Structure 1
Amino acid sequence: MPLIRLKLSISPFITTDFTGKFVKSFFIAANRELEEIFEDKKYPSPKPLRITPLLEEKKEVPIYSKVINRPKPKDNPSPISIGGVYYVYLGYEQSLEPKINLTVAKLLGGVQLEYGKKVNVKLLEYERIENDVPKDFNSVKIYFISPAIFVDPFVKVSQIEKDRVKRFIPFPPLIFSVNVYELFKDKYKRNIIRLSYSLVESHTVLNTVSRVWYYYDGKWLPGVIGYVKFFLRKNIHKYTKIAIRKILQNAIEMGVGSGRAAGFGFVKMKFDEQNP
Structure 2
Amino acid sequence: MPNAWSQTSPSRVIHADNLSVLPSMPDEAFTLIYLDPPFNTGRKQKRQSTTSKRTVKKDGAHAVGTITGFKGQLYERIKGDLLGYDDQFEDYWAFLEPRLIEAWRLLADDGTLYLHLDYREAHYAKVLLDALFGRESFLNEIIWAYDYGAKSKNRWPTKHDTILVYVKNPTAYYFDSSTVDREPYMAPGLVTPEKVAKGKLPTDVWWHTIVSPTGKEKTGYPTQKPIGILRRIIQASSREGDWVLDFFAGSGTTGAVAAALGRRFVLVDQNPESIAVIKERFALLPDVEFVDEP
The answer to whether the superposition gives a TM-score over 0.5 is no
- The one of the two structures with greater contact order (alpha-carbon pairs below 8 A, sep at least 6) is 1
Select the structure that is richer in strand: 1
TM-score, structure 1 length as denominator? 0.27
